[in-house]
Amino acid sequence: MTLAEAHPVTRVAPVLFLALAALTVASAWAIVASPNIVRMATYLLLTLTGVAGMYFMLGAELLAAVQLIVYAGGTLILIVFGVMLTASNPGLVLKPCGWEWAAGLTVAGAMAVLLVLALIHTPLIWGYEGTVPVVSSMEGYGQVASVGRALLSDYLVAFEVSGVLLLVVMIGAAYMARKRGGIKGVAQS
């Protein structure tokens, strides 16, 4: 008996995967289709949550938690702040005109076709036949201890450099977004 047969939880995986994948991709395309910026932010939240669900399915639990905390709970809130701070007219809807839609979707469609062809013609089978081994067989995979050990040993330089980068980004963003004395070009009522 293989590990996949001994652990029946892998049998519900296709249904769960299909639900999460449908949620993620549908929300992503809803962002493209929606003209209202606040609705786009909501669909982005759904997409990020769907991606976090896919991380859980892949056994990357720490990464899924980090995705929910940092991405959905931090970056998305920052984007919503940006939306609210730059809302000059609540009813204003910035829609691209017809030929812009055609050009944009042609570019995206051509890229999608290229990627699908690349996927079909690339052998992705390495010898495990692409099946999912049960998570519990990978001891410490994706858990906090092993990730912490890897960050502080193999990826120490990248870890420290990203700390410095975050400091620089904070200072730079705070400096760039400082208040300079009002909005030019908007009549003060």
Partner 1 sequence: MITVTLHHFVLVSFGLVAAGVACMVTKRNAIGILMGVELVLNAAALNFVAFNRFHPWDPTGPAPLDGFIFAMFIIVLAAAEAAIALAIILNLYNNLASVDVDKAREMKG
Which residues within the stretch 112-151 sit at the binding site for partner 1 (CB under 8 A)? 112, 115-116, 119, 124, 126-132, 137-142, 146-147, 150-151
Closest CA to 151 of 34, 40, 62, 53: 62
Judged by CB under 8 A, the residue of 96, 136, 144, 152 near partner 1 is 96
Q: Tell me the C-alpha distance between 161 and 151, whole Å.
A: 12
Binders of partner 1 among residues 24 to 63 (CB under 8 A) are 24-25, 28-29, 31-32, 37, 40-41, 44, 47-48, 51, 54-55, 57-60, 63
Query: How open is the CA angle 145-74-172, to the nearest 5 degrees?
Result: 105
**Least distance in Å: CB of 85 to partner 1?**
6
Sign (positive/negative) of CA torsion 84, 86, 89, 94? negative
180 in contact with partner 1 (CB under 8 A): yes
Nearer to partner 1, 90 or 127 (CB): 127
CB of 90 to partner 1, least distance (A): 13
Site for partner 1 in 58-87 (CB under 8 A): 58-60, 63, 66-67, 70-71, 74-75, 78-79, 81-83, 85-86
CB atoms within 10 A of CB 1: 5
> Environment class of residue 93 by beta-carbon count within 10 Å: exposed (0-12), middle (13-18) or buried (19+)?
exposed
108 binds partner 1 (CB under 8 A): yes
As a whole number of angstroms, the distance between CA 8 and CA 123 comes to 29
